[in-house]
Amino acid sequence: MPPASLDVTAPMMLSVTPESLPEILLRAGGYASPSGGRPGFRLPGAAALRFYQGLVRGVIATLKAIRKGSEPRAALQLESLGLIPLIESCGGSVNIEGLEMLRGQAGPVIFASNHMSSLETFMLPGIIFPFKDASFVVKRSLLGYPWLGDILKATGAVALERANPRRDLEELFEQGGQLLARGRSLVLFPQSTRSDRFDGEAFNTIAVKLARRTGFPLVPLALNTRFWGNGRWIKDLGPIRPGHPVRFAFGPPMAVTSGSGRAEHEQVLGFIADKLRAWEADVAQYTAGG
């Protein structure tokens, strides 16, 4: 459902621009694409061609703006939000809910999200930055990607090897703890890899451990980004599926101040699994506390 305070039939929603979206997100606490949006493409691959062309143009524009002296997060936010009208122009739709919970949350938070495709990496800066200054925790290999790696470095991403869990946790405590102490939120994807299927067994406790260690609140984030599928041969070049709505749902912040954090971890898993089931996504059977 669209956010309660957002009138998706309003004229401004029919001509939404990246420049207007921060105010819409702040005022409404979310976003919902107008019903009966643009029709999908009839020619096979046309939506994918349009999407990938727009994505590449946005990445290049972001990098150029940064190199010309623009503040990196401002440049990234603008191009990130540009993906919403791009998705709509490809026949897709976007629904974002729960951002109002961040309005009254002073200080940084730790977002713990499932990881379905590359799309969330590109979209979340634009969604989160109007509310929180944030950095992403990513695989170190992403820093070597053309263009994207330079943007991640410029915006202060925390890069982990994902090969040694103990070392990763130590680095996250050190680097992530310093960023949180300076007022910057962190976005984590605690799954081992991107997957259309959500499996609680593959969702590790790194975010909960960081929240318990630092004392900053944990915010669960459920997303369904199958619009951009994972490729069979090249994972980052998957199919574009206009029939799959892009969805983001933010849960209430929770404190992890004592104990093992197991109860809070289960709450994060439950929030994500419940949202994904409501969106008719694939969720593996998971036993709480298992």
Count of beta carbons in the 10 Å neighbourhood of residue 26: 14
Decide if pLDDT at 260 tops 50: yes
Q: Which residue has the tokens 């010309």?
A: 68
Is residue 151 within 8 A of residue 76, CB to CB? The reply is yes
Q: What domain range is 49 assigned to?
A: 11-283
First to last CA, the chain: 32
Between CA 70 and CA 197 the distance in angstroms is 38
Is residue 31 within 8 A of residue 25, CB to CB? The reply is yes
Q: Cα Rg for the chain, rounded, in angstroms?
A: 18
Reported as a pLDDT band with limits 50, 70 and 90, residue 155 is confident
Reported as a pLDDT band with limits 50, 70 and 90, residue 13 is very low
Q: What value does the mean pLDDT take over residues 259-265?
A: 89
Decide if pLDDT at 7 tops 60: no
- For residue 52, which of 14, 89, 19, 15 has the smallest C-alpha distance? 89
Reported as a pLDDT band with limits 50, 70 and 90, residue 111 is very high
Share of the chain above pLDDT 70, in %: 89
Residue 6 covered by a domain: no
Q: What token pair was written down for 69?
A: 């002296």
Residue 289 covered by a domain: no
Span 63-76, pLDDT tens digits: 999 999 999 999 99
- Which 3-state string (H, E, C) describes 267-286? HHHHHHHHHHHHCCCEECCC
Residue 288 covered by a domain: no
Between CA 226 and CA 281 the distance in angstroms is 9
> Based on the structure, what is the number of domains in the chain?
1
- For residue 102, which of 206, 248, 235, 236 has the smallest C-alpha distance? 248
Decide if pLDDT at 1 tops 50: no
Reported as a pLDDT band with limits 50, 70 and 90, residue 259 is confident
Between CA 77 and CA 75 the distance in angstroms is 6
Residue 2 covered by a domain: no
Residue 290 covered by a domain: no
* Phi, psi at 138, each rounded to 5°: -130, 165
Is residue 198 within 8 A of residue 122, CB to CB? The reply is no
Between CA 58 and CA 56 the distance in angstroms is 5
Residue 1 covered by a domain: no
Q: What token pair was written down for 172?
A: 């996250």
More confident residue, 219 or 164: 219
Count of beta carbons in the 10 Å neighbourhood of residue 221: 24
pLDDT the model gives residue 12 = 36
Decide if pLDDT at 41 tops 70: no
Between CA 101 and CA 176 the distance in angstroms is 23
Residue 4 covered by a domain: no
Residue type at position 160? L
Residue 126 covered by a domain: yes
DSSP 93-160: -EEEE-GGGGTT--S--EEEE---SSHHHHHHHHHHTTT--EEEEEEGGGGGSTTHHHHHHHTT-EEE
- CATH code of the domain covering residue 264: 3.40.1130
